Structure 1
């Protein structure tokens, strides 16, 4: 129930405005409290109950009260105080342009393996943002190095119970970590993890594995020391370094070949088997290690509920599970009366898995003909083999080079920016569809999507409306190791 709305016709600086920044509303959800309050996109929330706001964490705690005085500034600069009552668990119902109102905390490191430094030139500016913000780690699972964190940050983590976080460990050898991150403070990794634990926070960890650098004996040390930090340490993901053709860093980096990947799997499996005796796997390898070594990805039970799925850990197994679940629930499939020819666009790494599933679908639908199109990433370089980093130009070029009948095209939804139908190279999905007017183009995200698209193509349509789209998130969304 709204109590009152008091216009403040003279824009005035509140007592906390010198410290905090406004939350700018991007979207108001239908039927929400914000809609009832007549808030609109572009409105700025300055204070709640006299408290300035640094981010949506502050906002969430401030909105926990039942009686709210909200200072809002509209697009014309006019401010008003909106006072209202709410249920204690009732949310405002808005999406903000950024989850952090006072600006993203940028990364001060210069890592040997930084993917953002390998982004192609002349791409949208947001892709070059290097965030290293513990708040985004808590809110969205972004990995942080903690090299820019001080006592106040750990106090806030403790105050607001910000747990779990996601930490880029890379290695536990302090001298090597400082070298790899090119940051003297990176040597304090053990101390920073101690600080997290003292603040009551648990954390997931990651190692970006570079051949000949932090593998071998160094990886053994990292695993041993992180495992010893359980139960605060919740998991350890090990992913292979990715290198694009735009890397200019003079330090020589080498990617893993089939033999090297197999060696990493064998070394890590020794630890996994030992830890599994205690009930969990805890250590997980990125899917690409198994692809490189020509080995099957582990079974579902191996992944402990997929705690690092957004980091590409177990994504292929999860995709297969979704396919099988949809297959079991779908029931008998109506046969196609006429031939259906579908081209399935995918990154080169996961193409064999997509082919295997397509053959199962063709066995159910005799009139279905699937052509897997593994798109070579000419934009970033062919060593980049995941679907989430494919550009529209590469997809269009390689589809146009194919002849033969084509009823429709399936594209990997992770290649589109979260919340928008825009590819990495700023080409819209609409523009791509105009290139193929005779063929319907639909995105596919999950294994269930893939099953429905192949087995029920006439009725399949992926609706992407309502996805969260934070403007800061573009870099994180594109650099996660998404396979399909």
Structure 2
């Protein structure tokens, strides 16, 4: 790479401060950006004279070998950089956000919105309701398609932003509009067909609420979405999540074990049909249904290529498979050692037999099941445990251990922090014991075998 030159510009005029800009949060060592002297806090204003609204725009703009960057320094000055680079050479920049204008807010008022059930006083980012098609393409965030303009649809088609992840909930237009609290939600099938006909592939989901969109409504939804296959790649059905902070929300309830079994039976019939016709299961149930019903988790092949793992579909089976594939440790410990393994209520039934079957000399493993007092006992998944929940569970244990292993899934992705703002270090300080984080099955097994 050679920087052909750079030219300082005067301070940014007031009328230019409303331009979209990508604020830099990291500059890679030995990169083009580092050679140019760019620093965290600087902001990218334009590439080749054109503003960029997100990293999708940026990736296309940087495809050329000759590139001009307009950058706003932290002191308010602008600089123009002219660069020669290889076609596929990265600049070495990371940005505070993938979108440079603003994240598209949700325009709905869903009856089951989890954000509306958050307690007050938490960090601001937890109250953001995003519904941005760019984050759907980039990170797999689910969107509702209710805030897309014709220009947005045209851009999706032009840049072939595929696959997208769409929250459907019901294909009955009137019911969907009621569930989402938005009349624009009615035309979901037309929107899905438009995208599918344009070659955009879709992963879809249904948040299932007893008495609202289950039963015959769910049957129609599955049938309508399967009719759009292979444009619709998958459908995940997840149970509604309810916290204790629902004072201003519409009354809803969780599925009973019998109702969970009825959902499994109904969906199983569709799964058999889909596999017979396409070779793919197509419609998948979240693990919570099987755990609530007390039924076995489906086998590994049932989940195909695990298209909705991040949505809680197949996590248990994936965990079990990784545990089995990880070699059993052979060496034990020279002296007695006790280790606590923390999990949520749902995971307890999965982990208990695995831990019971792991025999190591001088090692005693205690499974500590943490009840979710923060969101309420109806929230049983491990991923929503808070630091305070874990501290309370460990304090209730009969006697202290030599160390504690906590689940990495409870930490915010990419950060070492629980939903309540505590960190593993905070937990260790309060309980007075070493705390380590295990990220999935192999990591848990290895930490139990080699605690130092």
TM over 0.5: yes
**1:345 aligned partner:** 342
- Whether the 8 Å contact between 2:72 and 2:78 is mirrored in structure 1 is yes
Q: Which of 1 and 2 has higher RCO (CA within 8 Å, sep 6+)?
A: 1
* TM-score using structure 1 length: 0.90
Quote the residue 2:318 is aligned against.
Answer: 318
Matches within 5 A, 1:437-448: 437=432, 439-448=433-442
* TM-score (structure 2 length as normaliser): 0.96
**Do the aligned partners of 1:341 and 1:370 also contact (CA within 8 Å) in 2?**
yes
CA contact (8 A) 1:345 1:395 kept: yes
Question: After alignment, is 190-199 or 270-279 more displaced?
Answer: 190-199
3-state SS of the aligned residue for 2:346? coil
Cα separation, 2, equivalents of 1:31 and 1:350: 44
2:367 is the counterpart of 1:372: yes
In the TM superposition, what is the alpha-carbon distance from 1:161 to its structure 2 partner?
1.0
Contact 2:66 2:84 in 1 (8 A): yes
Quote the residue 1:475 is aligned against: none
Report the Cα offset of residue 210 of structure 1: 0.2
Cα distance in 2 between the residues matched to 1:125 and 1:51: 32
Residue matched to 1:151: 150
How does 1:96-135 map onto structure 2 within 5 Å? 96-135=95-134
Q: 1:7 deviation in Å?
A: 3.5
Unaligned runs of 5+ in 2: none
Deviation per residue, 1:283-302 (Å, 9 max, x gap): 10000000001011111101
C-alpha spacing 1:41/1:209, structure 2 compared with 1 (3 Å):
same
1:388-415 Cα shifts (integer Å, max 9, x gaps): 1111112112211213241111111122
Conserved? CA contact 2:12–2:76, under 8 Å: no
- Post-superposition CA distance 1:226-250 (Å, at most 9, x none): 0000110000000000000001345
Alignment match, 1:468: none
Work out the CA distance in 1 between the residues paired with 2:248 and 2:226: 32
Residue matched to 2:284: 284
User: Hey, what's the Cα distance between the residues in 2 that align with 1:43 and 1:360?
Assistant: 54
What's the counterpart of residue 412 of structure 2? Answer: 417
Gaps of 5+ in 1: 459-484
The answer as to whether partners of 2:48 and 2:68 remain within 8 angstroms in 1 is yes
Name the counterpart of 2:447: 453
CA distance in 1: counterparts of 2:53 and 2:355, whole angstroms: 48
Map Cα deviations across residues 148-190 of structure 1 (whole Å, 9 max, x no partner).
0121111000111100000000010001000100100100101
Q: Counterpart in 2 of 1:7?
A: 7
Match for 2:425 among 403, 419, 430?
430
- What CA distance in whole angstroms lies between the structure 2 residues aligned with 1:36 and 1:388? 41
- Give SS of 1:40's match: coil
Aligned positions of 1:394-409 closer than 5 A: 394-409=389-404
Give the paired residue count.
Answer: 451
Deviations 1:329-352 (A, max 9, x none): x6x532211122111111111111
Deviations 1:178-223 (CA, angstroms, capped at 9, x unpaired): 0100100100101111221233211000000000110000000000
Alpha-carbon contact 1:2-1:37 (below 8 Å) kept: no
Describe the shift of the 1:135–1:14 C-alpha distance in structure 2 as closer, same or farther (beyond 3 A).
farther
Conservation of the 8 A alpha-carbon contact between 1:154 and 1:199 = no
Q: Which residue of 1 aligns with 2:214?
A: 215
**Are the counterparts in 1 of residues 368 and 397 from structure 2 also a CA contact under 8 Å?**
no
Q: Which residue of 2 aligns with 1:476?
A: none
- Could you say what the CA RMSD is over the residues aligned between the two structures, in angstroms? 1.7
Q: CA deviation at 1:31?
A: 3.4
CA 1:423–1:306: 2 relative to 1, 3 Å:
same
